Amino acid sequence: MINEQHLLNYPIPEIRQVLRWQDVALYNLSVGLGQDPMDKAQLPYTYEPQMTALPSMPVVLGYPGFWLKAPDTGVDWVKVVHGEQSLILHRPVPVSGEIIGRSSVTGIVDRGPGKGALIYSDRVVVDAATGEKIATLESTTFARGDGGFGGKSGPVKPPHPEPAGAPEITCDLATRPEQAAYYRLNGDFNPLHIDPDVATKAGFPRPILHGLCTFGVVCHALLRELCAYDVTRFGRMDLRFSSPVFPGETIRTEIWREEGGAAFRARVVERDIVVVSNGRFRFA
């Protein structure tokens, strides 16, 4: 069972990470870039002379690992799913050097017995040499098996409102059947995404794609459609994970332009089900 004060003060380790262009290429490939070798617009994301990091890459930088799996957290880790993710990009992600990730739990909401709990956390990614911020990440984790520990019922982060009408832009990007196996090499080793037995125990028919891999696919769509692949124009994205994606499915990002950015959501084409909702993008 969750001990609220213990979890709020949990000593998530600070992570120092040496970044190489190969790490950047692996991340970009693991979220689906490079599937069309003739698409020259994607070449800077796969080819070392021009190597560029996708704006969503901070989600795997300074990552402290699946620390919620530790027994002393009190969390039923098998039933944990990613609920929401925000990314604020302070500067383009470097392709080499040393970075530091500092993570902390910022809030816990008890939704009641049988209704789970929400765990809010953030991570600041900084350049180790200069101390300059690269990105700020805010996450909501849905601990489906941990409601009823006697904690507070709020405040709950309100979602961005859903847009009305038909989208102005749609972008279909395919995932690969083995994409979760590639993506986990970025450091997210939750067996839910590769072990069929763990997936079954968690209530899924087969391993699911990492939520943050879906995040990267949607980031690619926003970068392509709104920024013409110019990372200096990319400022912030926020979204809610509505349903899991199975590797091999096609993710369709639907976009509504707004002043200063756009609203968006995403669905799986094959099942016509919304997998990302309440999305907001802002230009730098």
Give tens-digit pLDDT for 153-192: 888 988 899 988 999 999 999 999 999 999 999 998 889 9
Among 32, 101, 134, 193, which one carries the catalytic annotation? 193
Q: Is the separation of the CB atoms in 241 and 81 below 8 Å?
A: yes
Length of the chain: 284
CATH number at residue 232: 3.10.129.10
| Structure confidence at residue 14 as a pLDDT band (50, 70, 90) | very high
Environment class of 148 (CB within 10 Å of its CB; exposed 0-12, middle 13-18, buried 19+): middle
* Distance (Å, whole) CA 190 – CA 141: 14
> Is residue 160 flagged as an active site residue?
no
Domain of 95, in residue numbers = 4-283
Among 116, 147, 211, 216, which one carries the catalytic annotation? 211
Q: What mean pLDDT comes out for the span 70-78? A: 90
Among 188, 216, 220, 261, which one carries the catalytic annotation? 188
**Among residues 239, 226, 231, which one has the least CA distance to residue 276?**
239
Distances from the Cα of 80 to the Cα of 76, 119, 176, 180, angstroms? 7, 10, 24, 17
Tokens (6 digits) for 276: 């990302």
Among 108, 134, 208, 251, which one carries the catalytic annotation? 208
The confidence score (pLDDT) of residue 261 equals 98
Residue 272, pLDDT > 90, answer: yes
* Distance (Å, whole) CA 28 – CA 188: 15
> Is residue 2 flagged as an active site residue?
no
> Is residue 193 flagged as an active site residue?
yes
Residue type, 190: N
* Distance (Å, whole) CA 181 – CA 127: 29
* Distance (Å, whole) CA 1 – CA 257: 44
When the pLDDT of each residue in the chain is averaged and rounded to a whole number, the result is 95
Q: What mean pLDDT comes out for the span 258-263? A: 97
Distances from the Cα of 262 to the Cα of 20, 168, 273, angstroms? 32, 10, 21
> Is residue 76 flagged as an active site residue?
no
The confidence score (pLDDT) of residue 82 equals 87
Element of type H or E holding 125: strand 117-127
Residue 81, pLDDT > 90, answer: no
| Distance from the Cα of residue 14 to its chain's centroid | 19
Q: Is the separation of the CB atoms in 121 and 104 below 8 Å?
A: yes
Residue 86, pLDDT > 90, answer: yes
Distances from the Cα of 217 to the Cα of 15, 55, 79, 143, 228, angstroms? 25, 11, 24, 24, 15
Q: Quote the number of domains for the chain.
A: 1
